[in-house]
Amino acid sequence: MPSLDSLEESLLSYYRACELCPRRCGVDRTENQVGFCGEGARLRIATIEAHLGEEPPISGKNGSGTVFFSGCSLRCLFCQNYQISQEALGRQWTLQELADRLALLHEHEGIHNVNLVTPDHFLPHTVALVRLLRDRGIPIPTVYNLSGYQRVESLRLIESVADIYLPDFKYADPTLAHSLSQAANYATVALEALCEMVRQKGFLDTFVGNHDHEIAAISAEDLSSPSRQGVLVRHLILPGYIQNSLQVLSILFVEFGGDLPISLMSQYAPVRQFPLGSPLSRQVTRNEFQEVFQHAQELGFRNLFVQFPEEAAMDRRPFVPDFHLVNPFPGNIRTGT
């Protein structure tokens, strides 16, 4: 049965004049029209696996059950997942097939959660998926792993099925947001979206009521159990654009205070050819990272995951996947093909 036909009418209607993301293309995706995301209304996925590369409260010891959707509503020029976000890699899945695969990962690999990676343009399918999993008695939380570029109305659509929000906050600089993601309004949209996520779920429960931990000290082995609810914000430092990162941290601190959980990432690696002299042709330097990290400390952020540049260089292969492979992320657990 085609995945499209598995959706109830109330969910299917969201694809008929699609305004799920801030692009608000308005196309009828049920008639094979595609908007900025590049996808119609048929559910398409590149890979599903027990992923060990997320933050410790998400991956835990057994991995996070990640679902990598084809297409993207942001399509950043530097995207490490460009093969699926921009090159349409992936195949059609039915909702039942997807639920079966995740149930298998839960049974055999012990995944701690279902992790929906960049699902904005398939949000109605994710609502139906979580309902299927709950009907089957699978008790693990659902993680919405997002670009940060979300409509508040779409976040309210998934409020009853989302447990954890793992959004990026990529840009404070509208010029940079326009040049790299064609989204000059990113900061305004992302801030409104993040306020809604925090309203719904609060801060990540790993940190709630805990003010004694040291920065970057939490590992999977330290956790009695992985997180089950809340918001953790990610920021990827881009080489040559440190002022953007400083502004992002300042905005987040002013709006949410020092208890907001943040994952500060230095894993950027070039995945395409940029013009000669572009800073995006190299990795983040130690000095660039240190300036951003120091700013986070000086502002007073207390709940930080920190990926130091040496760690990012050492772990580069897992962070630059090849979705042409059966196992895109080397070292991950995978059930089936």
Q: Are 14 and 157 in contact (CB under 8 A)?
A: yes
Domains defined along the chain, listed by start: 3-319 (3.20.20.70)
pLDDT digits 0-9 by tens, 136-192: 999 999 999 999 999 999 999 999 999 999 999 999 999 999 999 999 999 999 999
Sheet-wide strand order for 142-146: 91-92, 44-51, 64-69, 114-117, 142-146, 164-167, 230-231
DSSP 333: B
- Residue 215 pLDDT exceeds 60: no
Tokens 């309902």 found at: 131
- Residue 124 pLDDT exceeds 70: yes
Give the closest residue to 203 by CA, choosing from 66, 111, 217, 211.
Answer: 211
pLDDT for 65 equals 97
Rounded alpha-carbon distances, angstroms, from residue 274 to 90, 243, 269, 280:
26, 20, 12, 7
CA pair distance 333, 293, nearest whole angstrom: 32
- Residue 222 pLDDT exceeds 60: no
pLDDT digits 0-9 by tens, 250-279: 999 999 999 999 999 999 999 888 888 899
Confidence of residue 329 (pLDDT cuts 50, 70, 90): confident
Rounded alpha-carbon distances, angstroms, from residue 257 to 24, 57, 136, 261:
31, 21, 39, 10
Average pLDDT of 38-56? 93
